A and B are shown apart, each in its own frame.
Chain A
Amino acid sequence: MSAATAGFLCGLVYFAVYFIDNAFMSWDCITRPIVVAPLIGLVLGDPFTGVIMGASLEAIFMGISAIGGSIPSDAISGSVVAVAYAIMTGGGQSAIEAGLALAMAIGTVMGAVNSLVRVLRGSLAPYYEKLAAECRPVKFFVMNLLILGVTTLPVASIVGIGVGAGVDVLQAALDSCPAWVMSGIAAAGSMMTAVGFGILLSMIWSPSIAVFFFVGFVLTKSLALPSIAVAVIGAAIALFYFFIEKDIIDAKRVGGSSEGAPQMAVPANSDEDFFA
């Protein structure tokens, strides 16, 4: 098998697992090294090496996940390149070890490439909003698939070209990009999340309870509480507020129960804060 064919097949596998898992499964399962590595082994004609390396690669990338959206190292491309390298250099124990040594380095390099794609995807948010407002779910679905495909293609191509041309090319291409561009992109990615929270806050913000936003922030930042602990504290305050207000309403109702229906008369007016 020529290097070009191998590169094409590897790029294809990368694209397939990434696209299918994100678009149709959302399991974060078939993108794990233990699935990706055997697949690469299969398409390159040495499934045995793929399966064996899958076990080691899964251990290497065990702690790395997409939690919170920031991925330090791309486990898929790391696994693809590692297995492809091992098989293309002839298989065997030493080739496998060399491939495994490559995995984390390649994964980290591709993690940087992914952050570029993340910024691109993040900047499309306003477009999605407009699309959703069109009330056409099928179009919304198709456009999402299309955008995912188009934005995955460059990364898959880089992985494919990397395998076809050798991994040195990958590193060199990234080195030629000025350092400040990379750090600027990384900074933009981590600040962009603020926009989503800003939109969220503007919906539920009201001056009388705004202080709780800061309470949540401080509990997490200064006390490093896990989100469940913060939720329990928040829920305790919310419930306390709820029951105090409920007691007041009940008291009022007992006082003024001489008029009106015995059941309930409030709902009709409760639409008032609809536009608040």
Chain B
Amino acid sequence: MEETKQGKRALTTTENATLNKMFWLSHCVFLGFNMTKMEANGFTLTMAPAIEEIYHDDPEGKRDAYIRNQAFFNTHAVAFNFIAGMTYAFERDHKAGELPAQTIDAMKVSLMGPTAGMFDSLFFNCLRVIGAGIAMGLCAQGNPLGVLLFIFIYGVSQSVLKYILLRLGYTLGASAIDTVFESGLMQIATKAASILGLTMVGAMAATTVSVPIAWTLGSGDTAVAVADLLDGIYPGILSLAIVLLCMWLIKKGARPMQIILGIVAVALIGAFLGIF
């Protein structure tokens, strides 16, 4: 592991090869997408070349790295590459013993929320609408070129940016670590990143987790919706409760599968009884 003291340095052949492989695999963001961990599988796949390179002589570290990069992940598919590039740099320093694993998790968690918002508005709400607008004009006249134009404006452009951002993330990640590491502030940086990470998990939980209660007490005009009662205490209090319950169960050693089956069972029984 060579030292990267200061300034920019050219990427080595190995790094270049790994980044190229990561670029191609980063098109698998939505492969294996699921509601439990969202883009976790895409992230694991994209990180695979980096993990194989960094931990080629360390089976134990490799296994830990695969599990670490299988955590919940969700952002826009283009911003995805920036974070993947940074994670590559972070994993390299983790292997060198300079960076606690917690910092990698905290960095990923704190970056995915804001990048998702930024890139969703850039691509989905802006570029897609522009592309579709142009294409719709052509297609409405029966010109099939509109379709190709749309794929080019909204699709190919994503890949171009994915390529650039992956490399940018890697370079920035490496230099950011050097700066913080040289001043011996890693523990504080980790805690600061965790503060941001926790805030963002709270924000994401507030928008994506919901417990749709359809239960009403009483009937007719006097009926009271239980959801309104609970929201009266605090809006989304049940979402908060279920996230914290899941964390508690996992800390107690429950396996995710057990929790998921539990949720499906509760949801079906609840729906049968008219609670959901």
CB-nearest residue of chain A to B99? A270
Contact mask for chain B residues 25-46; partner A; CB cutoff 8 A; 1 contact, 0 none: 0111111111111101110110
Measured CA separation A200–B104 after assembly (Å): 12
B136 adjacent to A32 (CB under 8 Å): no
**B192 close to A239 (CB less than 8 A):** yes
- Selecting from A48-56, A84-92, A155-163, the interface stretch reads A48-56
Determine the distance from Cα of A201 to Cα of B71 in the docked complex, in whole angstroms. Answer: 11
Question: Could you tell me the distance between the alpha carbons of A219 and B27 in the complex, rounded to whole angstroms?
Answer: 33
Contact A203 B33, beta carbon cutoff 8 Å: no
Given contacts A23-B28, A54-B139, A191-B242, contact A270 B184 (CB under 8 A): yes
A-B contacts, CB under 8 A, total: 418
CB nearest to B39 among chain A residues: A26
Known A-B contacts A26-B29, A67-B124, A122-B35; the reply to A51 vs B209 at CB < 8 A is no
Stretch at the interface among B9-17, B222-230, B258-266: B258-266
A199 near B72 with CB under 8 A, answer yes
Q: Which residues of B contact A214 (CB under 8 A)?
A: 202, 240
In the docked arrangement, what's the CA distance between A59 and B118, Å?
23
Cβ–Cβ contact A220 & B72, under 8 A: no
* Size category, A interface: 35 or more
Bound complex: CA A227 to CA B261 (Å):
30
Nearest chain A CB to B123's CB is how many angstroms away? 9
Q: Could you tell me if B77 and A27 are in contact, using CB atoms closer than 8 angstroms?
A: yes
B89-119 at interface with A (beta carbon < 8 Å) = 97-98, 100-102, 105-106, 109-110, 113-114, 116-118
- A123 in contact with B36 (CB, 8 Å): yes
A sample of 23 cross-chain residue pairs with beta-carbon separation below 8 angstroms, ordered by A number, consists of A24-B31, A34-B139, A51-B146, A52-B142, A126-B256, A140-B41, A181-B271, A187-B276, A191-B242, A194-B209, A194-B263, A195-B256, A196-B36, A205-B198, A206-B191, A212-B202, A234-B200, A237-B195, A237-B196, A238-B195, A249-B184, A264-B184, A267-B184
8 additional A-B residue pairs with CB within 8 Å, beyond A67-B124, A249-B185: A27-B155, A69-B35, A133-B67, A135-B63, A198-B243, A213-B198, A216-B206, A239-B192
